[in-house]
Structure 1
Amino acid sequence: MPNNLSDGLFLGGRYRLLNQIGAGAMGTVHRARDEFLGRDVAVKIIRPSATSELDLRRSDAEAKILARLNHHSLVTLLDAGSDTSNPDYPLIYLVMELVQGLDLRDRLKQGTLTRRQAALVGYDLALGLDYIHGNGVVHRDVKPANVMLFDYGSEDARIRAKLTDFGVAMVANDPQSQHGTFSGTAAFMSPEQARGEESVPASDVYSLGLVLLQCLTGSPAFPGPALESALARLLRDPEIPAALGEDWVSLLKAMTAQEAAQRPSAHDVSMVLYDMVVRARGRHRVDPELLPDNEAQRMDAVRRYELLDTPPDGAFDRVTALASRVFNVPVAIVSVVDTDRIWFKSHHGTDVTEIGRDPGLCASAILQDDVYVVGNARQDPRTLANPLVAGEFGLQFYAGVPLETSDGFNLGTLCILDTQPRSFSAEDAQTLSDMAAIVMNDLEMRLESRRASASHSAG
């Protein structure tokens, strides 16, 4: 890549480079202006190792495949393309959401993560890896600098992690795939990468294991110069302190097994980490009685409908406004129940957008097959100690209908709330159920539309 890549370069007739904000082995990252939508984005400029017209067409096609990937544990890729205006320096570019905030590398400079924080970060990253592996993409460079951290600004909101730079090595025709050479970040590469062999999904699992180990200990497992670090993992396994606990030691040993075939899949890692989060929530602990028997599968369904880490959905505002008028209640909500939070996708009559899972009655409502009703919360033994009842909000009435998928999983609820006790008839229950069906029908239609679009693109 030319050293004098100038600001102001106009890519794809749409993206004008403003200034460089990062650099790595595979290319440079620039803040750019999307002239079409009038917003700032991040553009990754990649210099392919191969420059033939055929190779450039292949890289361009692969970049477009990456741009179609969409998952809440990945930094969103918005567009992709190639620029051959200078035939001596053809470029592949990826357009991504512009992320403001710390990456995991910078966060670890402040100190280690708690076991629960590490499990949550690892859970998010394992989900992202499982998704890209299922789409035929291997990351090849899982490391703290490629992990972006987010939180939602409230005391109870947990840190969430998103993976960036996925598939860049593939698009750039990374020589790592050629036997006898290696590339990537030495401190986090797998043994097969260190041997110059082809990367496989299990290579990303190994790297994630080293990332999590550093999150917990504060130090890289294989420090030192690049060659020394890369060769060290061929001679020994990483040292995993027994003080981390049997669950962490067992998981990290499995993830960093020398042989790729002996490592768990990213999906299996996500399930183990999910169980660890449930067991070690501390003040965020969710009552086991409020966890459905099929909780892991239910959360898979929530992710399938792409309901997490998205803003409140204006499409449902008319439904909640209608529910408020029909039942003459001050508050109506479309909720989604996450692992430890309840997100309000539409919230009429309140500015609150999320609460912890434990105090939220929606967590109880999703365990039901029918409407969940609390007519007088201050006299109902199920809710006497609930902070929403005893606290400032003064909740006294709740009715919620589960949002049930076509294959039987409850994503969340359509619920109504009041600060006065109320009766709720069978006719009322049917009306609320009909409104919930409208919400669920919309979600099903969106899911089918995405599947149809993906099928059309693949064709």
Structure 2
Amino acid sequence: MFTHARHDLDTLLGGRYRVLERIGVGAMATVYRAHDEYLGREVAVKIITKPLRNGTVGDVDDGEVKVLAGLQHHGLVVLLDAGVERGDADEPCVYLVMELIAGPDLKHHLTQGALGQRHVAQIGSDLADALAYIHNNGVIHRDVKPANIMVFDYHQDAARMRAKLTDFGIALIAERPADSDGGLSGTAAYLSPEQARAEVLTAASDVYSLGLVLLESLTGRPAFPGDPMQSAVARLIQDPPIPADLDQDWKALLTAMTAANPDDRPTAREVSLALVEKSIAERGRRKIDPSLLLMEKPARMAAVREHAILDTPPDGAFDKITSLAARLFDVPIAIVSIVDHDRIWFKSHHGLEVEQIDRDPGLCASAILQDEVWVVEDTAVDPRTLSNPLVTGDFGLGFYAGAPLKTREGYNLGTLCILDVKPREMSPEEEATLADLAGLVMQDMELRLDNRRAVQTVSAS
């Protein structure tokens, strides 16, 4: 019999996982090193006490476990198995079997002091990318904190730190959503305001928590210290204090991530892009202005609606521009795209039959965050795209360049982009030409908008 309180060792869970030693203790669970006797490998087993509900033992939802176990991403610690140990009727235990990671967590790293900005950007981009992945699969982490982040330095290469997020979806397994939506979950120092208010959570909650983790990594101290109640209440009163001497890019990004209103925060995908750009800035790449993330909600979308360009009939004027772009740059595909809140719609798509794709993983959603042409010369090796499904899948994208379609008010509606299945270089002169063509597209859109406004004015009078 195995009970969470007794920490019995040498116990066989599920007839397969032999518990060997305790390697970590948390508020709601204990982690053990165990041996998988079926496959002959070492694993980590997390034991969570699951209380009785209405006199019955709560079950692990098989469908939910299958979803979590099916999530495979370089930024996630892999969940291998899960089950319920029923040896003690008064204290049934949920156990979660995960890959065993050798190495310290971020919490341990931060006991040694703050990390450098480049390393924070590197591990932050891994974590944001992992969150974007699980959010796209309908999972919210709910407990993003340093203790749930494993930090790596592969090949002892100090030039690149990597991170893996653990315990994703654990809150959903430990507590059914119907039970937990009205209760407090997570760790007090890293709760989002909506968590502190015990409200129903969205993916934006994870973005807020990650913002607090990144801020602590840069400063060496938590933004909301104190006992759990004091810490939880503090964020309902004030935004996290961001040091005035912090890099302007960091201040803009962290301010956006920790906005009190969830709708004002960037998505995890947008955060990942900003941090990748930040981490490679020293290698001569262009930097993204994280303040552009604030365009998305709601002003940019209002501009998209005002221009009335989504789902409109085929248009010869735009088709001529994409055809010209394909010839000028000798590429098979050229597109005029409009980025909606959940999709990328192709107003004109030379060389491609598809009319729209999901916003994630489309690269146009990344390009609109730029203030100039965004170029990925070799998608298979560029850290911004090397794991993108458009690159690794059947489409086999090798090159992308997108010039934003910017309104007079400064909102990027979409892009004029060119694509190739082969990597290629792009000169500054070619970038300028692509930007000029995008300007022609935008000029046409603005003229049409002006005409509609004029007609409306006459009709009103």
> Does the TM-score normalized on the shorter chain lie above 0.5?
yes
Aligned to 2:318: none
Contact 2:52–2:90, Cα closer than 8 Å, also in 1: no
Kindly provide the CA deviation profile for residues 252-306 of structure 1, in whole angstroms up to 9, marking residues without a partner as x: 00100001111111011111111112213489x9xxx996258599656532579
In the TM superposition, what are the counterparts of 1:66-215 in structure 2 within 5 Å?
66-155=68-157, 157-173=159-175, 178=180, 181-215=183-217
Please give the residue correspondences for 1:33-432 in structure 2 after superposition, counting only pairs within 5 Å. 33-51=35-53, 56-155=58-157, 157-173=159-175, 178=180, 181-281=183-283, 292-293=376-377, 299=383, 302-304=386-388, 406-409=395-398
CA contact (8 A) 1:301 1:409 kept: no
Name the SS for the 1:237 alignment partner: coil
Q: Are 1:119 and 1:277, in contact at CA under 8 Å, matched by a contact in 2? A: yes
Change (3 A) 1:294 1:79: same
Residue 56 of structure 1 aligns with an amino acid whose one-letter code is: G
- Secondary structure of residue in 2 paired with 1:252: helix
* Number of the residue aligned with 1:28: 30
C-alpha distance in 2 between matches for 1:302 and 1:27? 36
Which letter does structure 2 place at the counterpart of 1:406?
F
Instruction: Specify the alignment match of 2:313 in structure 1.
Output: none
Cα distance in 2, alignment partners of residues 41 and 69 from structure 1? 17
Question: Structure 1 CA distance, aligned partners of 2:218 and 2:284?
Answer: 17
Q: State the distance in 2 between where 1:17 and 1:218 align.
A: 35
Distance 2:281 2:151 in 1: 23
Matched-pair contact (CA < 8 Å) for 2:57–2:92: no
Tell me: CA distance 1:294–1:190, structure 2 relative to 1, closer, same or farther (3 Å). farther
> CA separation in 2, counterparts of 1:40 and 1:293?
41
Q: Deviations over 1:108-138 (max 9, x none)?
A: 1112111111111110000110111111111
Whether the aligned pair in 2 keeps the contact of 1:60 and 1:82 (CA below 8 Å) is no
Does the 8 A contact of 2:182 with 2:200 survive in 1? no
Aligned residue for 1:187, secondary structure, equals helix
Contact 1:177 1:196 in 2 (8 A): no
Q: Which moved more, 1:40-49 or 1:257-266?
A: 40-49
The 2-side partners of 1:282 and 1:408 are apart by: 23
- Matched pairs, number: 313
**Contact 2:69–2:79 (CA under 8 A) maintained in structure 1:** yes
**1:251, 1:296 → 2: CA distance?**
27
Letter in 2 for 1:408: L
CA distance in 2, matches of 1:84, 1:238: 43
CA distance in 2, matches of 1:89, 1:200: 31
**Partners of 1:117 and 1:23 in 2: how far apart?**
27
Change in 2 beyond 3 A, CA 1:88/1:304? farther
Please give the TM-score of this superposition, normalised by the length of structure 1.
0.62
| CA apart distance, 1:141 | 0.7
C-alpha contact (below 8 Å) 1:117/1:159 kept by paired residues: yes
Note if contact 1:175-1:183 (Cα within 8 Å) is conserved in structure 2.
Answer: no
CA distance 1:281–1:194, change in 2 (3 Å): farther
Report the CA distance shift for 1:217/1:51 in structure 2 as closer, same or farther (over 3 A): same
Any idea what the Cα deviations from partners look like across 1:97-118, whole Å, max 9, x if unmatched? 1111111011111121111111
Aligned mates of 1:306, 1:11 — CA distance in 2: 41
| Structure 1 residues 201 and 14: CA distance shift in structure 2, 3 A | same
C-alpha deviations, 1:24-81, integer Å up to 9, x for none?
1221111111111222110011222455799734534423321121110001112222
In structure 1, C-alpha distance between the alignment counterparts of 2:210 and 2:83, rounded to whole Å: 29
Q: CA deviation at 1:87?
A: 3.2
Cα contact 1:177–1:198 (8 A) shared by 2: no
Q: CA deviation at 1:88?
A: 3.0
Is residue 59–residue 92 contact of structure 1 (8 Å, CA) maintained in 2? no
CA-atom RMSD in angstroms = 3.3
Among candidates 15, 18, 36, match of residue 16 of structure 1: 18
Task: Sort the Cα spacing of 1:27 and 1:193 in 2 relative to 1 into closer, same or farther, 3 A.
Answer: same
Q: Do 1:31 and 1:43's aligned partners in 2 also have CA atoms closer than 8 Å?
A: yes
Separation in structure 1 between the aligned mates of residue 386 and residue 187 of structure 2, nearest angstrom = 34
Instruction: Provide the rounded CA distance (Å) in 2 between the counterparts of 1:53 and 1:22.
Output: 30
Deviation at 1:7, TM superposition (A): 0.8
Amino acid of the structure 1 residue aligned with 2:149? V
Deviates more, 1:40-49 or 1:127-136: 40-49
CA contact (8 A) 1:138 1:204 kept: yes
Residues 180-239 of structure 1 deviation map (CA, whole Å, 9 limit, x = unaligned) = 531321111100111111222111100000000011111111111110011000000011
Flag the 1:21–1:404 CA change in 2: closer, same or farther, 3 A. closer
SS in 1 for 2:31: strand
SS at match of 2:387: helix
- List structure 1 segments (4+ residues) > 6 angstroms apart after TM superposition: 52-55
The gaps in structure 2 that reach 5 residues or longer are 288-372, 401-421, 423-461
CA distance in structure 2 between the partners assigned to 1:296 and 1:168 by the alignment: 33
Q: Does the CA-based 8 Å contact 2:125-2:276 persist in structure 1?
A: yes
Distance 1:111-1:176 versus aligned 2 partners, 3 A rule: farther
- Evaluate the alpha carbon distance shift between residue 189 and residue 18 of structure 1 in structure 2; reply closer, same or farther with a 3 A threshold: same
Kept in 1, the 8 Å contact 2:207–2:267? The answer is yes
Do 2:51 and 2:91's aligned partners in 1 also have CA atoms closer than 8 Å?
no
TM-score, normalising length: structure 2: 0.62
